[in-house]
Chain A
């Protein structure tokens, strides 16, 4: 244990409004901590830079899942266990349920929150690809009010996002319009459980008479942050799903991504496997039925 508990202040005001007021009074000074599964790892390694931490754990306003007729709204402090246990998520957003089951271990899932996953902003974030292909919207909150932006615009660079210093991620809004879409999500890690993603691919696509009418593709670990694959989507949009489309799709993906070599894997491997995953999805779409 290399962190020093004396060197960090941690308070738990207990309510959303109290947290927001404190953050407004001293913008950029407070680091919110929810389940702690990222920050406490940094603390143990002696690398927790934040001196002042403000706890979001146990604030009911932030931990909820609301099922509306057209949307599901997920509070930022919802844990991955909460997501897995919710029948609405399983039914309407199966890719999100699937990605929740990949986070760490059962013990990590009890504490890791979806908000924390997004704000931490790792390019390998487990929930991001699913959220991107589900057209998720992020709701941010501060003393100044709330605002919503498409999740696809949330990350701006490696571990950088559009949040203002006094803002908190409040909720994720997910439209329920993918019931007839083909859906795909696959993560490739170092082992079957407790694996940081080397590459992951999510996809939703609407087929009509064998042609792709809508398509959304998103990947983890192929860029500085989780991102949609717009050029690859363009290459596929309006195309007939048959073997002729595999190679152009792969080539488009190759040209679009900027993977890196790092401690876990190589750029070459990542991009090849991503292309293989894409082809796997396209092959699945060739058959009459596809269950994510």
Chain B
């Protein structure tokens, strides 16, 4: 059987965490159950819908596919880490203005994917936006206003975006 519950240490939104848990517990479940960060959602459990997306060491990942042992030492960013001191991240503001969220269940993952996209490509073309979000399924919006939201946020202050995206490293 398992070696028991090792203590796994990583940071989430800039905060150090230490979780004593099973190595094969999914990072998604550790975030939601152990750390009570329920912003990250489970839509499919198979890495298809992207609603569990978080950023890990500056890369976009599906947290439902990561055994928490492999998050040892990682810097994780979740949707809860986007707004700073109650001030909405430019992407969050843009989604609000442009109607990028309807039922909201895909929104945290979508925001993570959009954050990742703008972090590596501050002025993406429409094909690049589509590719950047292709791993996040939205059933409500038809994606149209999500694209508009990303374009709107990208035209906002980009240095701010870089800083915000790198927050929690």
Contacts and interface: CB of A to CB of B under 8 A. Distances in A.
Whether A and B touch directly in their complex, counting CB atoms under 8 A apart, is answered as: yes
Interface of A: 1, 3, 5-6, 8-12, 33, 35-37, 40-41, 43-45, 53, 55, 57-58, 81, 104-108, 110-111, 192-194
A11 B135 contact: no
Contacts of A81: 59
B24 A110 contact: no
Interface residues of B, number: 36
A6 B2 contact: yes
B47 interface: yes
Given A1-B45, A55-B69, A9 B1 contact: yes
B23 A9 contact: yes
B59 A5 contact: no
B62 interface: yes
B29 A1 contact: yes
Interface in B117-159: 117, 131-132, 134-136
Contacts of B66: 36, 40, 111
Given A3-B24, A105-B135, A108-B62, 4 more contacts: A1-B45, A6-B2, A10-B67, A44-B64
19 contacts: A5-B2, A6-B22, A8-B24, A9-B1, A9-B3, A11-B23, A35-B65, A36-B66, A40-B26, A40-B64, A40-B66, A44-B65, A55-B70, A58-B72, A105-B134, A107-B61, A108-B47, A194-B134, A194-B135
B108 interface: no
A75 B113 CA distance: 27
Interface string B64-80: 11110110100000000
Interface in B28-62: 29, 42, 45-48, 50, 53, 56, 59-62
B47 A37 contact: yes
B92 interface: no
A6 B23 CA distance: 9
B167 interface: no
B67 A40 contact: yes
B131 A41 contact: no
Contact of A106 (B67, B72, B116): B116
Nearest to A42: B46
Given A106-B116, A107-B53, A108-B62, A12 B24 contact: no
B109 to A, nearest CB: 9
A36 B67 contact: yes
Given A1-B29, A105-B135, A108-B62, A41 B2 contact: no
A192 B134 contact: yes
Given A107-B50, A110-B59, A1 B26 contact: yes
A40 B29 contact: no
Contacts of A110: 56, 59-61
- B42, B69, B132 pick with most chain A CB within 10 angstroms: B69
B22 A106 contact: no
A28 B149 CA distance: 50
Interface in B71-96: 72
A102 to B, nearest CB: 11
Closest 5 CB pairs of A and B: A105-B135, A193-B134, A10-B23, A5-B24, A110-B59
A33 B62 contact: no
